Chains A and B, each alone.
Chain A
């Protein structure tokens, strides 16, 4: 029972980390950029390119 609960928690965290990483990659950042020198949030601006 304890194993199952811990496994679910670890699995959940793993999926969360995976989703966050994939999302960041799609945005084109380094995976952690919340405030580096380059802001990547504006789709309109990217479309102009």
Chain B
């Protein structure tokens, strides 16, 4: 039998962990809300049945407030899964059951997977599963996705429920005489024009009474008018949940958990930000100390490999220009990026430890307090934190924001967050111009990115006259010891991404750059006479007020639009040097500490890479906003780089 099973639940209730446990997939699991923003599919076999599991984004309700909520609802309605598995966080029963009731009301066969039972038991609670199942009218299976207990039982139940699909009769909540009267009228009106099942029609009627905009667009009832009952309907649902939660949830003993104790300090208004700063400094200390050691070893290997390859190519009589293309162009460019791989791996190990332990969710909460004070949506800080990794998925998570203007502002400011591709630039320049202070310099650039993003967001907010205020609702996950498996998956994915980029976009850029630096219209020439040098000289005057008005710097920055690491790989091709040779080459072109810092700040803030521009276009669906993002970031970067250089030159 072929079955389609949808996994639905609140954010951070463990859907992806459960999905991975069944499918053996290695999708990123985050110990905070909003990690899954699109659906994922996996197929498994159980008792001779083929089950397609669909992991849907986490939602709090199926009201059309955010894109994920609409998408999940549409999926359940249009794709008609055989069974909906509602994953419920047992440690947050009351809130999670609101979605459960909505799913039951939709009329689809629901099986409740009561996850995180291990946490519940460690807290000294126990849940009367039978009673819960009776009150909800659906099967409830207790399990722990992390400990992999109860998983087979859930699959058995899913198959059993699918066989009874047609006979499934969901419980009906009684909404009181007035609302039930309206439901009855609406049901008879809708059933005359729409051939749908009885359960779906009742659900539609309830949604119409709640003034659900998406439903009202689809169902037109010319002679129908009523007030908005959404608040009453929501309250009745909550009352129904509260009426039995106390009976279901028994407390054997209650003690303050480690998470509660830790949160008193970590999310404290005064201590929270200093702790965040210390954590970030520790991240950079790890990135530089351990990373640099391995980077040095890797550099030696690459230099030796380059020497052997050159010798081999000369021995087999390959043309001189082709040897130059391979050694100076390809190996110089790709190798110039690969040597930073240990630093990048260390950065992601540190970030994933913070994320998996549950700390990053606290950072979002801390920033919410701060951002609310200046009138911004705290939820916007989640994509911003993800932007430390890569702007592309970060911008996509901006979809979780309900308000369209908030989404747009977040999309516009997320590229200011320092993604990992900028890291090689910081490592290279800070090692040469700020020896011994690399950690502080890199940290200051991350902070600069956050500050600029917040200032720009405030300006946007003033100009756009932002609409209604929305609030950050997120569950704070329990602190837990980071799982080596989760960290391993996350870091391996990032390392793979980095190597893939080196082998694709950086390889392409290095070849193109070598050609434009080796030729002009007359043929092969000296680099200073090349087409690339001429192009660099044409742009260079723009950067004079920033202290790096040389063709080499200008050309690297231009190439960096393809991907920010390419700024470094371009320099490796231009100067024909590897890690150790950069210092003298950069100083010879006129760089000093102040202009180096201005260069790093400019690299951080200027026009995002092509992939980010692409995703901005896709998410905003507007060339106007995409073009605006391109040029305004260029201007902001130039302005800040200029201020740093001009003021810095006066002081130092």
Chain A residues within 8 Å of B614, by CB: 25, 28
Residues A1-49 near B (CB distance < 8 A): 2-3, 6-7, 10, 13-14, 17-18, 20-21, 24-25, 28-40, 42, 45, 48-49
Contact, CB under 8 Å: B396 / A32:
no
Contact, CB under 8 Å: A20 / B27:
no
| B317 contacts the other chain (CB 8 A) | yes
Contact, CB under 8 Å: A35 / B493:
yes
Contact, CB under 8 Å: B316 / A2:
yes
Contact of A25 among B39, B78, B390, B611 (CB under 8 A): B611
Contact with A along B15-49 (1 / 0, CB 8 A): 00000000000111010000111111100000000
Contact, CB under 8 Å: A10 / B493:
no
Contact with A along B477-515 (1 / 0, CB 8 A): 000000000000100010011101101110110010000
Contact of B507 among A14, A33, A38, A48 (CB under 8 A): A14
Contact, CB under 8 Å: B71 / A32:
no
Contact, CB under 8 Å: A37 / B386:
yes
Closest to B37 in A: A38
Q: How far is the CA of A16 from the CA of B496 in the complex (A)?
A: 17
Closest to A1 in B: B317
Contact, CB under 8 Å: B318 / A34:
no
Chain A residues within 8 Å of B28, by CB: 35-37
| B410 contacts the other chain (CB 8 A) | no
The segment out of B196-204, B322-330, B438-446 that lies at the interface is: B322-330
CB-based A-B contact count at 8 angstroms: 117
Contact, CB under 8 Å: A17 / B392:
no
Contact, CB under 8 Å: B504 / A17:
yes
Are A31 and B505 also in contact (CB < 8 A) when A3-B322, A6-B313 are?
Answer: yes
Contact, CB under 8 Å: B71 / A38:
no
Contact, CB under 8 Å: B611 / A30:
yes
- State which size class the interface on B falls in: 35 or more
Shortest distance between the CB of A43 and any CB in chain B (Å): 11
| B393 contacts the other chain (CB 8 A) | yes
Chain B residues within 8 Å of A24, by CB: 504
Interface of B is mostly: helix
| B291 contacts the other chain (CB 8 A) | no
Contact, CB under 8 Å: A13 / B507:
yes
Are A33 and B392 also in contact (CB < 8 A) when A6-B326, A10-B325, A21-B505 are?
Answer: yes
Q: How far is the CA of A17 from the CA of B499 in the complex (A)?
A: 12
Contact, CB under 8 Å: B318 / A3:
yes
Q: How far is the CA of A13 from the CA of B39 in the complex (A)?
A: 33
Contact, CB under 8 Å: A32 / B504:
yes
| B175 contacts the other chain (CB 8 A) | no
Contact of B493 among A6, A30, A34 (CB under 8 A): A34
Closest to A15 in B: B508
Chain A residues within 8 Å of B326, by CB: 6, 10
Closest to B498 in A: A32
Q: How far is the CA of A39 from the CA of B42 in the complex (A)?
A: 12
Contact, CB under 8 Å: A3 / B390:
no
Contact with A along B454-498 (1 / 0, CB 8 A): 000000000000000000000000000000000001000100111
| B247 contacts the other chain (CB 8 A) | no
| Most chain A beta-carbon neighbours within 10 Å: one of B39, B313, B618 | B39
Contact of A42 among B39, B391, B618 (CB under 8 A): B39
Shortest distance between the CB of B307 and any CB in chain A (Å): 17
Residue positions of B touching A, CB distance < 8 A: 26-28, 30, 35-41, 67, 71, 74-75, 78, 313, 316-319, 322, 325-326, 330, 386, 389-393, 396-397, 489, 493, 496-498, 500-501, 503-505, 507-508, 511, 563, 610-612, 614-615, 618
| Residue contacts A-B, CB under 8 angstroms, 25 given | A2-B318, A3-B318, A6-B313, A10-B511, A17-B505, A20-B504, A25-B614, A28-B614, A29-B611, A30-B393, A30-B612, A30-B615, A31-B504, A32-B496, A34-B496, A34-B500, A37-B28, A37-B35, A37-B36, A37-B386, A38-B393, A38-B396, A42-B40, A45-B38, A48-B75
**Shortest 8 CB-CB distances between A and B: which pairs?**
A35-B493, A30-B392, A32-B497, A30-B611, A32-B500, A38-B393, A2-B316, A3-B319
Given contacts A31-B500, A34-B496, 4 further A-B contacts (CB under 8 A): A18-B508, A25-B614, A30-B615, A32-B504
